[in-house]
Amino acid sequence: MTPGSRPATSSGTGAGGYLDAASAEPLHPAARETLLAALDQGYADPRRRHRAARTSRLLLDNAREVVAECLEVRPDEVTFTSSGTDAVHRGLLGLRAGRARHGDAVVHSAVEHSAVLHAAAWVPGDHVAVGVDRLGRVDPADVRRAASADGVAVAAVQAANHEVGTVQPVAEVAAALAGTGVPLFVDACASTGRLPLAAGWDAAAASAHKWGGPAGVGLLLVRKGARWRNPFPGDDRVDERSTGFENVPAALAAAAALQAVVAEREEVGRRQAALVDRVRSAVAAVPDTEVVGDPRDRLPHLVTFSCLYVDGEALVDGLDRRGHGVASGSACTASTLEPSHVLAAMGALTHGNVRVSLARGTTEAEVEGFLAALPEVVAGIRSEVGL
């Protein structure tokens, strides 16, 4: 495959396409160009004193400053990690460790990413899942009530849901927590680059491959003055939040992609939102199908729907045979065949669900090809089981 070419798709009717950008956005051209240039310059340990190391340090500092400018934070609040999951674990557990004398419980919304749920389950304590409404949105008052209980160390509310796209009221949650002393962790992996970073967090996490940067680069943001302690064994690096030897070329490429994505966010967001509106209306016309998530206050590129009497994996396979790459269920739990905890918390159908997420370059023809194939695939699967 030549640089910049699209992945091959299966043959089938209509225009096929990659519709799983919420799992991983194709590498942005700005990231590819920067990565190739940085590979020859950023190989040395940026904490050594020789010339090659100083070059790496300069590149790493530049990447940090670019990210800080894009997200409107301080450069010293930005740490590059090995993944978004790593950033989530460090961010949440670090805030918890910083309040160890106050308690060990974690309060989180019932629709958090599995990385948050796994981090909470990894430590002892009576963890509290705060329910959501039918759109998947948490009530700030409910978060405050749960966080006001004795022994609560930290609260976690995502910026936007990774499965259904609903944007959470992060700033309102932060305001509701004011006076409780409970810090707020925000998983912003699904929204970074696509939406501005909401205010009020004490620590936050993001993942470069979600916005078109290279895989293997996460962002840990810790607000200046926040009580954060490293929850894992330390390193001999100067930065206590450091996760080891940074991948300097990848960090620089991630920063370049983020800068480009933020610059084009309004134009791309409008185009994607219009295409998603088209998907929402067309899918709603398929018999016994429910479109979930907030229709307006949502991520611009993502929509999830559930089809009654249809197995989600069979639906994904059937669409893939026609050239349409989509996801089913939680991207992190689909391999376990467990029902989506997000849809269950919303009271929605947990089986037969499909998540469609548009890439930066997704075309109208690809969307129309998917919409033409979907009713036929659904009908075919239902007929196989006698419906």
Residue with structure tokens 């499965």?
163
Residue with structure tokens 């590149």?
59
Amino acid identity, residue 13? T
Residue with structure tokens 């160390």?
153
> 142: which 2 tokens?
């409910």
Of the candidates 70, 189, 307, 332, the residue annotated as catalytic is: 332
Of 188, 193, 239, which Cα lies nearest the Cα of 66? 193
Residue by residue, DSSP assigns 158-210 as: -SB-TTT-BBP-HHHHHHHHTTT---EEEE-TTTBTTBPPPS--SEEEEEGGG
Helix axes 140-147, 170-177, angle to 10 degrees: 40
Distance CA 34, CA 24 (A): 19
Distance CA 334, CA 149 (A): 34
End-to-end CA distance of the chain: 42
> How far is C-alpha 188 from the geometric centre of its chain's CA atoms?
6
Distance CA 134, CA 154 (A): 25
Distance CA 50, CA 48 (A): 6
User: Could you confirm whether 70 is annotated as catalytic?
Assistant: no
Kindly list the strands in the beta sheet with 302-307, ordered across the sheet, starting from the edge strand earlier in the chain.
289-292, 302-307, 353-357
Distance CA 107, CA 129 (A): 6
- Contact present, 310 and 286 (Cβ < 8 Å): no
> How far is C-alpha 76 from the geometric centre of its chain's CA atoms?
23
Distance CA 233, CA 244 (A): 11
Distance CA 304, CA 79 (A): 32
C-alpha dihedral (150, 119, 25, 311), degrees to nearest 10: -100
Of 23, 293, 276, which Cα lies nearest the Cα of 132? 293
Residues with catalytic annotation? Answer: 332
